[in-house]
Chains A and B, each alone.
Chain A
């Protein structure tokens, strides 16, 4: 069965960076894109970007383009999301999800990682 398991909760200071990992199992890692989505308290889900694990191509939301980097390690079947220049508005639960680069929804999700930004 398909599983996406994310790294644990993080507390960061303003201006710092955070990296969240997403380890996958139960399917061929290079056959599906990994997307990153966040949800701030009481807010709607917000898409941040995706990576194609097959070739490493990435696409980012303009809102995060200057601050986010998504990478993958095919040998570990894992994806990573790095967000820099953290502010209090980045306090949210961050999810990885399996999808495609163009025509498939998010059919499996990680459990979520709470990132708290506080001085």
Chain B
């Protein structure tokens, strides 16, 4: 099973700042099938990024993804108030599919 470790656990930033979220895998992610989801309290997750760097439908271009193998990054270039949420990475290339523990982004 691929274990995904996200850091930091909590990220305190102000609107307009840049956010960098990390996701590290215990082994290489097959075909770079790595996705990121945004989740707000009481809501279902929402797909933000897939295949490392492809933005999901409706996701603004201030979101970008990078990485390969075992190290991946989600970057939000200029934070908007609606971006403050929990972000979880997921690998969907190997069974069992697994998720990271999440990074909670809070307003500083």
Contact = CB atoms under 8 A, between A and B. Distances in A.
Chain B interface mostly: loop
A35 B35 CA distance: 15
Contact of A95 (B31, B44, B101): B44
Contact of B90 (A59, A105, A110, A112): A105
A103 B97 CA distance: 11
A53 interface: no
Contacts, number: 53
B78 interface: no
Interface of B: 31, 33, 35, 37, 44-47, 50, 56-57, 88, 90, 92-93, 95-102
12 contacts: A44-B99, A44-B102, A46-B99, A47-B97, A61-B95, A103-B92, A105-B35, A106-B35, A106-B47, A107-B50, A107-B56, A109-B45
